[in-house]
Amino acid sequence: MAVMVVTDSTADLPPELVKNFGVTVVPAYTRFGEQVFRDGIDITRDQFYQRLLSDPIHPSTIQPSPQDFIETYNRLDEEGAEGIISIHVSTKLSGTCNSALQAKEAVATKCPIAVVDSRFVSMALGILVLEAARMARSGKKLDEMAAAIENTIPRIQLLICFDTLKYLALGGRIGKVKALLGSVLSVKPIAAIKDGQLVPSGQVRTRKKGVEKLLEFARNARDIQELAVIYSTTPDDASELADAIGAYFPREHIYLTQLGSAVGVHAGPGVLGVGIRES
- What are the tens digits of pLDDT across the range 82-108? 999 999 999 999 999 999 999 999 999
Question: Quick one: fold of 4-29+63-153?
Answer: Rossmann fold (3.40.50)
Where residue 223 falls among pLDDT bands split at 50, 70, 90? Answer: very high
Could you tell me if 149 and 86 are in contact, meaning their C-beta atoms sit under 8 angstroms apart?
no
155-278: CATH architecture? 2-Layer Sandwich (3.30)
Mean pLDDT score of the chain? 93
Q: Give the helix, strand, coil percentages of the chain, each rounded to 5.
A: 45, 25, 30
Angular region, 244: left φ>0, alpha ψ -120 to 50, beta rest: alpha
Q: Which of 108-122, 167-181, 239-253, 263-277 has the lowest mean pLDDT?
A: 167-181
Q: CA 265 to CA 262: how far, in whole Å?
A: 6
pLDDT of residue 184: 47
To the question of pTM greater than 0.75 for the whole model, the response is yes
What is the structure's pLDDT at 176? 52
Domains of the chain: which residue ranges?
Answer: 4-29+63-153, 155-278
Helix, strand, or coil (residue 37):
strand
